[in-house]
Structure 1
């Protein structure tokens, strides 16, 4: 089967979102929390990372819980303060996944169309895309907040493929999340490549996807299997 387009997830696929949030959470605690010593600051940081659930906890909910759990240095600090800090600064903590740039350039040079499908708010996701420096490589960028549908709904994959002018059977999707990325892509009729390592669990679509442990493996995997 000829693959004409390769589409990617963003967080924990092209960007190491786990590493970025750890650095951001540590700075957030240092800036806003009242703590006795470095050990307590580390406990608050680890608590915040756990509560974030790799980005799946809505930010307003996360910071409301932070206000209830972590003592604030300034009594005027609010949920809105923490939300604005998130939108204004988190993208600066972005960490590109090892091999991401090289892989995208190799695919582009080989004639593949490239797409990006990511769940999240337009403001935060678009800022992170800009931070990567990869925007110019993509022929289609879909952010769930902008199209009112999110992975694993097949509709969001269909929107991207329509922009690319490619049928699902001629497209592959690469992502870390077993349900949202792998199972979602397969339900939408795409070939799926699971990037293991940063997200727990396994896809339900047993035997219907390819697996890589590093983005540098992707080009050879596509060439060998599709």
Structure 2
């Protein structure tokens, strides 16, 4: 049986999270008159944010802890004094402003146009439910997708098998006729492979020393080699 259903991750796969997030902080710093070098802040923030998303994925911190702590730890690390009230305000503004920046990875529209008549396309995302659909609307890609599955709607996060099983059920798909495409080896690729799905890794950063034996692409248009 051939592939009929293609499941995409959203952030870091189609939607250029880093670029859009940087622009969001730029807007917030200006609005809040935060006198701190944005580049220095972002350099410290990004690994902290990555660490907290991993903890969130592993159910070790809550959504509200993630949103607060990633900012608190960063401001502490750069020795910038800031109140908890303002941190909460920034956390809320981040979620409010982020979906309005809409940069996508190069080739997103071209590859979705190429795939949409051949397959049924879906999204599986660990991102916050209240912003993911807004991101897709703002970047004009929402109409390409049939089912949109957020981890919050399932109650657990990728790579938990429940997310993938739920996605297959919602989409009316089977393991043997589906494929998962995403940037995270742990959450997207191995999560999918572990329940019998095919998977393709989006290695847009050209990371070396990846030992796993799976398909990998460095740009979205390379998907044409596999689909």
For normalisation by structure 2, the TM-score amounts to 0.83
140, 143, 149: which one aligns with 1:142 = 149
Please give the root-mean-square deviation of Cα atoms over the aligned residues, in Å: 2.5
User: Where does residue 87 of structure 1 map in the other structure?
Assistant: 95
The alpha-carbon deviation at position 86 of structure 1 amounts to 1.2
2:80 pairs with 1:70: yes
20, 39, 42: which one aligns with 2:39 = 42
1 CA distance for matches of 2:205 and 2:22? 13
Change beyond 3 A, Cα 1:104–1:54:
farther
User: Where does residue 164 of structure 1 map in the other structure?
Assistant: 171
The runs of 4+ residues in structure 1 deviating greater than 6 Å are 201-204
* Equivalent residues of 1:18, 1:198 under 8 A apart: no
2 CA distance for matches of 1:141 and 1:34? 36
1:125-166 residue CA offsets vs partner (Å, 9 max, x unmatched): 222122222212111100111221110011111111112212
User: Where does residue 213 of structure 1 map in the other structure?
Assistant: 218
Give the secondary-structure state (helix, strand or coil) at the position aligned to 2:149.
strand
- The alignment of Structure 1 onto Structure 2 pairs a total of residues equal to 214
Q: Which runs of 5+ in 2 are unaligned?
A: 55-65
1 CA distance for matches of 2:156 and 2:223? 27
1 CA distance for matches of 2:81 and 2:28? 13
2:105 pairs with 1:101: no
User: Where does residue 189 of structure 1 map in the other structure?
Assistant: 196
1 CA distance for matches of 2:209 and 2:172? 30
Change beyond 3 A, Cα 1:186–1:165:
same
1 CA distance for matches of 2:158 and 2:70? 21
* Equivalent residues of 1:178, 1:194 under 8 A apart: yes
2 CA distance for matches of 1:116 and 1:76? 34
Give the secondary-structure state (helix, strand or coil) at the position aligned to 1:90.
helix
Change beyond 3 A, Cα 1:152–1:158:
same
Change beyond 3 A, Cα 1:49–1:28:
farther
